[in-house]
A and B are shown apart, each in its own frame.
Chain A
Amino acid sequence: GQNIDQPTEMTATEGAIVQINCTYQTSGFNGLFWYQQHAGEAPTFLSYNVLDGLEEKGRFSSFLSRSKGYSYLLLKELQMKDSASYLCAVVDSNYQLIWGAGTKLIIKP
């Protein structure tokens, strides 16, 4: 079966760096998305990786290793507003989006 694994919850300190991991086992691969979802709000697009390597976008970076079935989202200079759930999703060979259950990130002062 197809599976996306990410930690259920993580806690970090304001100003610090946190890495949220995502491992996947899917039938084929056509890209990986990261979305951010604040409580009671819409998920919003953060990044899309289809090639191996690191994509940097401001304080957020996303890394992909297709051979390892692994991605991470790196958040730097954490702010209280970064408290949210982070969703990992993989596009499989049938162009279906397979979603992880999300990682709830709690930022403490």
Chain B
Amino acid sequence: ETGVTQTPRHLVMGMTNKKSLKCEQHLGHNAMYWYKQSAKKPLELMFVYNFKEQTENNSVPSRFSPECPNSSHLFLHLHTLQPEDSALYLCASSHGTDTWDGYTFGSGTRLTVV
């Protein structure tokens, strides 16, 4: 365990389904991130939250909707996804967005869209 917990670990969903990914950290970090990891591609930053406020949205399609109710919890709501959205979705946290002591990552949710 890294201190960042993601659930579920695996998710299979149809293109018409609605599901949510959950991320939780109790490291006292103020910044949380959603990344998409596809095979043989660099990590793609999706969303950044700093002190519960969204500070970055990297042109992510609206079928992905983030929610950050507090500094410890981050959600990614999914609806009407496409097969190309199948990937590993990683959550990460850090002390802040301008501190470089590294990110702590969760183990990810392996998403398959059928």
Chain A residues at the B interface, C-beta cutoff of 8 Å: 4, 8, 30-31, 33, 35, 40-45, 48, 50, 87, 89, 91, 95-102
Partner of B2, one of A40, A44, A100: A44
Once the chains bind, are B42 and A45 in contact (CB under 8 Å)?
no
Once the chains bind, are B40 and A41 in contact (CB under 8 Å)?
no
B84: CB under 8 A from chain A?
A: no
Chain A residues, Cβ within 8 Å of B42: 4, 98-102
Chain B residues, Cβ within 8 Å of A30: 100
Asked, given contacts A4-B42, A87-B43, whether A42 binds B106 with beta carbons under 8 Å apart, the answer is yes
Chain B residues at the A interface, C-beta cutoff of 8 Å: 2, 4, 40-43, 45, 90, 97-98, 100-108, 110
Partner of A31, one of B100, B105, B110: B100
Once the chains bind, are B102 and A48 in contact (CB under 8 Å)?
yes
How far does the Cβ of B56 sit from chain A's closest Cβ, in whole Å? 9
Asked, given contacts A95-B97, A95-B98, whether A45 binds B43 with beta carbons under 8 Å apart, the answer is no
Partner of B105, one of A44, A91, A95: A44
Please give me the residue from chain A that is nearest to B88 by CB atom. Answer: A40
Chain A residues, Cβ within 8 Å of B4: 42
Chain B residues, Cβ within 8 Å of A99: 42-43
Chain A residues, Cβ within 8 Å of B106: 42
